Each structure stands twice: as structure tokens, then as C-alpha cells.
Amino acid sequence: MPKKLVNMIRENLNSYEEKILKALSPFKYQKERYNVGYTLAVGATVEAIDMSGFSQIIRETDAYVPLDEHVAVVIFAFNDQEQGIKAASNLLSKFEMQYFTQKIYLGIINAEEEEQSELLVKKLFETLCYSLVHGMSNQALDFEAINDHKAAM
């Protein structure tokens, strides 16, 4: 089933990218103007789950971007790579408490890793697809960790 989800993500990538880039605009401005970072986390579930409740548990400075019934993005404001991974891990813990029978695949990337927003989004989904293909459910996978995982294989 994850392979089917990977194919669905790849088919919808352009529409996902459009929604995310629109939501990224204020974060990109803050980064350019005030030099404050942000992290994107994308979550995907095999089963259709209403994850809109997560918009209620993130900080007001963060953004929740639903993409479809299987995929959603959270943009964590004012953080570096390490803080972004921690924030995504905390969100993962809350997901596991609420949907303890469901698997979620989570990809993370920090704005420090890529200046161009379009490439940032592509790397975010590359991380998510890598997580899906390798069965890495219920763990926060950062883009930089893909190389470490490949080396360990």
C-alpha cells in the first residue's frame, strides 16, 4: 500500500507544491528579513485520516496545510534544524496518542538546507517518499538523514 501512496503523491506533487508555496510566503519573508528559520514536516497516512485537529495543537506562529485526506504539512516557525526535528517528533508523539493503530510517514526539512522554496518542497517530498518506500513509519526522517540511512544499509 505505501507504493500506491507514493504514486499518488508523485501524481499530485504540483498541486501540493502550489499550496505549500503559498503558505510558505510569510515564513520566507521572515527568514529573509529577520534571519529566522523554519522547518517543514509532511505527514502521510495510508488510511484516510482527518488530521485537521493538529491545526489546533500547533503554535499560532506555525501553519497547518492540509493537502488531501492522506497528506498534510506543518510549517514550524522560528527554529533551526535541530529544533525543527524536535517539534516534528513532538507532533508525531501526539499523532501516535490520538491514532495509535495508524502508521504515519514523516518527512522533515529545514529552510537552512535549501534556499529555493521550490527545491525545498521537492526535497521534503523526496524525504517522505524515501520514508514510504523503506517502511520507515512512525519516525521523523530529516532530509539529511537519508544519506546516513543509505550508508547504514
Distances (CA, A) of 1 to 79, 98, 138, 153: 34, 22, 16, 23
- pLDDT of the residue at 152: 72
pLDDT of residue 1: 58
d(CA 79, CA 37): 5
Over residues 83-98, the pLDDT tens digits come to 999 999 998 898 888 8
CA dihedral 29, 94, 141, 43 (to 10 degrees): -70
Looking at every residue in the chain, the average pLDDT score rounds to 90
Site of grid cell 505505501:
2
pLDDT of residue 14 exceeding 70, the answer is yes
- Tell me what pLDDT residue 135 has: 92
Residue 68 — very low, low, confident or very high, per pLDDT cuts 50/70/90?
Answer: very high
- Which domains are assigned to the chain? 2-142 (3.30.70.270)
pLDDT in tens, 88-130: 999 889 888 888 888 999 999 999 888 899 999 999 999 999 9
CA nearest to 126, candidates 109, 150, 104, 102:
109
| pLDDT at residue 153 in the model | 67
